[in-house]
Amino acid sequence: MTDRAQRELQVEQRLVERATEGLDEAGAEELATAFARDPSLDHDEFDRAAAALALAMLGDDEPMPDALREQLHQQVPPKVEVAAAVAPQPPASRAAWLGWAIAVAAVLVLIVVELRRPPAVVAPARPVIVRTEPAPTPPPTKRAAPSPADARQRLLRRDPEALVVAWADGTTPQISGISGDVVWSNQEQAGFMRLRNLPPNDPRKDVYQLWIFDAERDERFPVDGGVFSIEPGTREAVVPIAARLAVSRATLFAVTVEAPGGVVVSDRSRIAALAKVDG
């Protein structure tokens, strides 16, 4: 068997394992490397095959408990906002999502080089970005709401266990010298980004978006941390994090540059900043 054939077999074995019993970190890293090496690989084909098998082999549907059904109807977000301009979404091209795979694989390589240890995340195979509703406006009070910088300090005081992770440059050559930190409280599921040297953006042309990689979630689907902009003349921006889903154990924070009007599917080509969690 040639080396190439051997590699292909190993990749297929990993894809099958992922589709049936999940992968440990070493297996996930092996796959990420394979995806970066061979952009023609279909990330999801064995997952889809396993899903089709489950559909064909699963017995008759059991009725869902009424209480659960009721709960589901109640917990539906008030509005899953999707820009009209991007919905319905055109078929995601292989090149688009493989582009993300390659970009994130490059990020992983950078992390390995810089931190001398393997990263814990894998490229999202088909990540989807859904714009969330803006944070609800707090009811008017006589006391002024604390500034984001003050709120960040208060969060740090309330939760001594909160993560504080330094920003580093991403993979976009035009954006460099990023500094500052991310504060994230698992306890409160809240946090703030403090960013210096992130260039101002014209929201009519592009926006920044935060992604949170969670060790206990599928590594291909980072949690959307919200969209934000940097105004001209800003030396240091403190931006509240608006995580769309619960985060169990953050492993990496990434800021990407996305299209205005809310990107539904990112082209995943511009990573502005990264903050890797130690440990």
Residues that bind another protein (CB under 8 A): 12-13, 16-17, 19-22, 44-65, 68-69, 71-73, 75-77, 79-82, 84, 86-89, 91-92, 126-128, 130, 216-218, 221, 224, 244-245, 264-265
**AA identity, residue 110:** L
Q: What is the nearest approach in angstroms of another protein to the Cβ of residue 12?
A: 7
How remote is the C-alpha of 214 from its chain's centroid? 8
Pairing state of beta strands 207-214 and 250-258?
Answer: antiparallel
Query: Of 33, 31, 60, whose CA–CA distance to 46 is shortest?
Result: 31
What one-character-per-residue DSSP string does 43-83 give?
Answer: TTHHHHHHHHHHHHHS-SPPPPPHHHHHHHHHHS-S--B--
CA distance 31 to 12: 9
Q: What is the nearest approach in angstroms of another protein to the Cβ of residue 209?
A: 14
| CB of 77 or CB of 134, closer to another protein | 77
| CB of 24 or CB of 202, closer to another protein | 24
Q: What is the nearest approach in angstroms of another protein to the Cβ of residue 55?
A: 4
Q: What is the nearest approach in angstroms of another protein to the Cβ of residue 245?
A: 6
Q: What is the nearest approach in angstroms of another protein to the Cβ of residue 70?
A: 10
Please list, in sequence order, all residues whose beta carbon lies within 8 angstroms of the beta carbon of residue 98, skipping any fewer than 6 positions away: 35, 39, 40, 41
| CB of 202 or CB of 216, closer to another protein | 216
| CB of 72 or CB of 164, closer to another protein | 72
| CB of 100 or CB of 167, closer to another protein | 100
